[in-house]
Each structure stands twice: as C-alpha cells, then as structure tokens.
Structure 1
C-alpha cells in the first residue's frame, strides 16, 4: 500500500505530506542529472527549449541561464499541479519577462506548436508515462527536424525502485523507451554512461527525423 502511494506521488506529486517529501527528494537527488541534461543538450542562446516533467524547476533554471539571446525561449510541461505551482514560483521572473512559459499538461497532449522546439530534455520521468509511444510521438511532433532530445537517469537506482514497486515496472528499462523513440520517428538513438560529482548516470540521445 505504501509503495503504491509513493509510486503515485513520484509520478504525479500532490500538495500533501508525501508530495512534499517527494519534492525534497527530487530537489536533492535530481540536481546533477538536471544540470547535465541541460549541458548535454548544447543549448544555444537563441534556442527554443522544452523540459518535459520539470518537477520543482531545477532544470528550467539551468536551461534559462543558456538562453541569453532575446529570441531564446523556454517551455516546460508537467502533469502535476503541485510541481507546476512550485516551479512557477521558482522561475516567476522568467515567466513575467516572457522568457519562460510553463504548462500543466500531459506529455502526450502538449499545448505547443508543431516543429517549434530546438532542444528537449527530461530527467527521471519517462517510466511514469502511461504510453511510451504516445509520449514519444508527441515530443517528435513539437520538435523541429534535426532537433536533439536528451534524457538523463541512473539505471541502477531506477532498477532498484522498480524492484520495490516504487515506479511502474513495465516502462522503466531504457531499451523500452529507446524502442518507443525508434517507432515514432527518432533517429541516432544511443545511450552513454557519464559521471559528475562522483555520481554515475546514463544519458539517452535522440534526434527528430528530418
């Protein structure tokens, strides 16, 4: 019962005691992966960038620091009303200035235009999607031809969480996600190991087909 409640909060945190604990966990444990997802994207000053599943907003802040050109824009999509509220507070200045726009929405129904995004990144979230192919197809829709997507995760931690039923066991394997990317038009799909601050993590790269 408790594992199921934690799994629900990890996938869609609510404004509750467990949701607050999940927020503290994400803020502490996702920092390195968020920053590295942004770094590996190679964001240019005038890019249009999307983070899927932005959580408390750490990756949004990191990405915004690279968007120094007035044409640079930042979008974020997260299913959780609680995370949307927290992230909106964190990047309120960016929202007010028009640099950032956040949406509370599902990855498979994003309110973004076709072929509008240069870079996409997400961290520790695809295994909570109800349909990997639907989410991948929607990301492909909003990405410009040749646009890059980067995903960061720690496979050992994710495998452990799946073994404890803390995350859905069906979709966590990177191979399943990479298969969904291939099936929805992504190319140049690869996974590589990385290390930062003595933390080992994996990064998945994929390019939207031209």
Structure 2
C-alpha cells in the first residue's frame, strides 16, 4: 500500500529508501510505515472492498494487505467471509498475523508470503480479489493479471485501487520504483488481459503533504470480472 502523506508521519529516509519501504516495509521503521499506510489508505481500502459486494461464504484474496488493521472492521461485518492475504513483506505478514490473532479473527484469515509474481493457489479458488496501492510495484503486470484471472472463479470480481498519475507526480519519492497509471493507461493495460472491465469510478479526497499543505488525491477503484 502507498500513503499520500508518507513523508510526514514516519522516520526520515532518503527518497529512494522511502520508496523501498512503501513497496515492502521492513525493520523497526517498517512498523511505522505500516501504520501510516493503514491510516492514509483506509478510505481507498473500504471502497475497494465495498466495490466487490462481499457476501457471507465468499472466499476473498487480498494482495498487499499491509498490517491488516482494516480486517477487523471488514470481517466482523461479514462473519462467514473467508479471507486470504498475500504480501511480499515478511514484516507485514507478521504484523497482520499478530493483529488478527489479538482480535480473534484467526478462524477467518490465512496469510502467506509470495514473490510478487506467482500466486500459490490452485485454479478457480476465490470469489473475490482485491488489491490497494500495489499496482505501481508489479514487475510484470500482465503476468500477474493472468495469475489473478487463474485463481478467480468464473463470474468472480477483482477490484484494483490506485492513485492517479497526476496525484502521484506531486510526490518526489514516486520517481523511485513506481510505475504510475492514469485511467487511460490502466484501461489499455486491462484490454490486454482476459478480464472484463466493468467500471472504474473516480474518487477524490483531501490529504496533507509534509509541509502541512492540503492536496487533492485522485484515485480509482477498478472493478474487473472474469467471464
């Protein structure tokens, strides 16, 4: 996940080091990064989950779950939901596991690590898939989209939430290791996958940068369907 105001709430890094922490939090500072990402992105996360129309009995996969603090709200509202989370960060895997154990969600959740490329599941496992602010870091977007398609059941939905390129361009650390997308760039990418792009609503919210200035963050929650 990726916070708009990351620079003001976490320890000082070089821009390149901060970008690396946002991709895969690690070490003591990574815990602070995880908390900041959760707080900064909670609106995006809620919209990404809401877009899926979750129902009791659904098996849902999330890529890039971060510290998992959003799961208490989501899973307690749908008791029969079965959640699977994958992350590339060993620290976030531990943070999410520990949090869900502490709030007694362990019967509903499973967490795993992955390499950012291959999903460790059989075909047609999940009813719904979501990911928030991970798209920028995908090494091979088309290959990962094929993996998401493979593990999703026919008729299943996938939501992808991402910040618009123009908003990202206001943040200097996004010059390091981020691939930025606007709506048209994303639509072209999806046209090369077997998914159907159902809708891609736009959202805006006000956030503060390191200087305390209010900035408008524009983001999208794309909803894709497997035929």
Question: What's the TM-score bracket when you normalise by the shorter of the two chains?
Answer: 0.7 to 0.9
Say whether the 8 Å CA contact 2:168–2:174 is kept in structure 1.
no
Deviation per CA, 1:122-175: give whole Å up to 9, x if none. Answer: 1111101111112111111110111111122332432323x5445534354444
Give the distance between the partners of 1:166 and 1:60, measured in 2 at CA.
31
CA contact (8 A) 1:14 1:81 kept: yes
From 189, 192, 196, the equivalent of 1:187 is: 196
User: Mind listing any 5+ residue stretches in structure 1 that lack a counterpart?
Assistant: none
Native 8 Å contact 1:126 1:177 kept in 2: no
Pairwise CA distance, 1:56: 1.0
Report SS of the residue matched to 2:57: coil
Partner of 2:153: 144
User: Which position in structure 2 is the counterpart of 1:105?
Assistant: 114
Distance 2:141 2:162 in 1: 16
Greater alpha carbon shift after TM alignment, 117-126 vs 187-196: 187-196
Provide the residue aligned with 2:82 in structure 1: 73
Tell me the C-alpha RMSD between the 2 structures.
2.4
* Native 8 Å contact 1:49 1:120 kept in 2: yes
Unmatched 5+ stretches in structure 2: 1-12, 208-216
Bigger proportion of residues as helix: 1
2:6 equivalent in structure 1: none
Is 2:123 the counterpart of 1:114?
yes
Q: In structure 2, which of residues 7, 16, 25 is the aligned counterpart of residue 4 of structure 1?
A: 16
Instruction: Please tell me whether residue 34 in structure 1 is matched to residue 52 in structure 2.
Output: no
Deviations 1:50-71 (A, max 9, x none): 11100111343343234323xx
Alignment CA distance shift 1:6-1:197 (3 Å): closer
Cα pair 2:124 2:153 within 8 Å, conserved: yes
Q: Report the TM-score, using the length of structure 1 for normalisation.
A: 0.84
Is the contact made by 1:33 and 1:152 (CA closer than 8 Å) also made in structure 2? yes
Which residue of the partner structure matches residue 220 of structure 2? 202
TM-score of the aligned structures, taking structure 2 as reference length: 0.79
Q: Tell me, what secondary structure is at the counterpart of 2:124? A: coil
Return closer, same or farther for 1:122/1:195 CA change in 2, 3 Å cut-off: same
- SS of match in other structure, 2:159: strand
Deviation (angstroms), 1:46: 1.0
Q: Deviations over 1:69-115 (max 9, x none)?
A: 3xx311011000011111111112222x2x11111113421222211
Match of residue 45, structure 1, among 47, 56, 59: 56
* Aligned counterparts of 1:118 and 1:135: Cα–Cα separation in 2: 17
